């Protein structure tokens, strides 16, 4: 194979998208076909996650404990279980992907989601997804 040409930059308004195309100089017998397209790291991760089973995802992305409710665009597809304690002293456990799928129509019009791909709530789960979570009451011992 011969030389490679890489990096085509497209600018549209204030958004810069880098489109990386890797062209190999192929001899005429291969009819100058496109041989290879380079993907971004996020595209590679997304593609790998779509081919994995939920059991394989659970090994890579174990359940996490946080201090608040959170959904992230970059976590979609991980099938990750997240646990936190809300302000009512209840342990809340939810599947990130299931909750995010329900919330996406609302999130897609929110400026914080559009800008950062992240949304959180410190007090509790949003009411429209509480039916998707497991909520367990925690007994608090009173000190004397």
Beta carbons of 95 and 79 less than 8 angstroms apart: yes
| Tens digits of residue pLDDT in 1-27 | 455 444 444 444 333 333 333 333 333
Q: What is the pLDDT of residue 144?
A: 59
Check whether 28 has a pLDDT greater than 50: no
Between 87 and 31, residue with greater pLDDT: 87
pLDDT digits (tens, 9 = 90+) for 53-97: 888 888 888 899 999 999 999 898 888 999 999 999 999 999 999
Has residue 36 got a pLDDT over 70?
A: no
If pLDDT is split at 50, 70 and 90, which confidence band does 37 have?
A: low
Number of Cβ atoms within 10 Å of the Cβ of 37: 11
Lowest mean pLDDT among 7-16, 77-86, 100-109, 131-140: 7-16
The residues near 22 (Cβ < 8 Å, ≥ 6 apart) are 4, 5, 6, 35, 36, 37, 38
Average pLDDT of the chain is 76
């Amino acid at each position: 194979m011969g030389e490679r040409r890489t990096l085509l930059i497209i600018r549209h308004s204030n958004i810069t998208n880098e489109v990386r195309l890797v062209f190999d100089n192929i001899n005429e017998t291969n009819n100058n076909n496109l041989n290879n397209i380079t993907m971004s790291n996020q595209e590679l991760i997304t593609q790998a996650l779509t081919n994995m089973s939920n059991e394989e995802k659970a090994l890579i992305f174990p359940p996490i404990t946080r201090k608040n409710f959170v959904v992230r665009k970059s976590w979609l597809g991980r099938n990750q279980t997240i646990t936190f304690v809300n302000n009512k002293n209840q342990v809340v456990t939810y599947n990130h992907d299931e909750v995010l799928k329900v919330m996406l129509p609302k999130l897609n019009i929110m400026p914080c989601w559009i800008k950062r791909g992240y949304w959180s709530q410190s007090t509790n789960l949003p009411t429209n997804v509480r039916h998707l979570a497991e909520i367990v009451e925690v007994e608090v011992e009173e000190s004397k």
